[in-house]
Amino acid sequence: MEKKRIAVIMSVYKKDVVEYVQMSVESILGQTYQDFDLYIQYDGPIRTEVDEYFNGLVDERVKIQRRDVNKGLAQSLNDLLAIVMPLGYQYIARMDADDISEPNRFEKQMAYFEGHPDIECLGTWAVEIKSSGEEYFKKQMPETHEGCLEQFRKRDCMIHPTVIFRRSYIEKAGMYDLDTFFGEDTMMWAQGFAAGCKMGNVPEFLFRFRIDDNFFDRRRGWRYAKGIWQLRHRVNKMLGFGVIEDAWAMAYAIVKMMPKSVLSIIYQKGRTVKE
């Protein structure tokens, strides 16, 4: 049997709700570009109704991997990469279990890859939505590699679940780092930059990124601030950045200790993209 060009990797865990999971999976299965398989990792026990939904899927493209112990997103993605990389897929796409891909996401990204053979990690812009589905914020990222690198001096330049990797990216940058509190995606971008990989973003809103009701509560506080500082300082040393980048990292960490109302305002106002 001829192998599909794209392996889509997704992790599900106990807090994922069936309504969002179904919307996420169906947004992948309904892509206009159909040359893919979807690999799903159970990261420990999941809700009964979510398991029943997956058990009821009749689609040979869906491959379920089950694990009884929760080991976190980075380990789940590494487990899936360990499965799909030896199978010869040329592209590995990310997806999260509560987000929605627009129907032409893969088609647009694959066309962009064809026109930009140097790009090895390609994301998209995203519309952030609330739990209700209401639009919250339109999030843009730099299109060019140079713009991505410049933005990465301060903050992430890719929206993790929107990306498609060429297999060469994984071969050069390696698997997800397991030694981070929460920033496995940030470290993955750092590994890519350090390995000389080229990155970019399709300048179109091809994704809906769900922000749940506890989004800002989960992304603030002393532990989160400390984790940001440690992660960004480590990234800065890895890429040869200096004191200016460390100052940005410290400022970012301080912001994460502010009240939720202030954090929400900063989150929207402080993210203008410049190429």
| Gap between the Cα atoms of 268 and 262, Å rounded | 10
CA 245, chain centre distance (Å): 23
Res. 251 pLDDT band, cuts 50 70 90: confident
Task: Determine the pLDDT at residue 274.
Answer: 45
Helix, coil or strand: residue 183: coil
Helix, coil or strand: residue 200: strand
The whole-model pTM stands at 0.92
| Gap between the Cα atoms of 247 and 255, Å rounded | 12
Is 70 exceeded by the pLDDT of residue 71? yes
| Gap between the Cα atoms of 275 and 257, Å rounded | 29
Question: Contact, 37 vs 4, CB < 8 A?
Answer: yes
- The per-residue pLDDT for range 42-65, each reduced to its tens digit, is 999 999 999 999 999 999 999 999
Is 80 exceeded by the pLDDT of residue 119? yes
Q: Of 245 and 213, which is predicted with more confidence?
A: 245
Task: Determine the pLDDT at residue 3.
Answer: 54
Least confident of 110-114, 185-189, 221-225, 263-267: 263-267
CB within 8 Å of 31: residues ≥ 6 apart:
101, 103, 104, 105, 106, 107
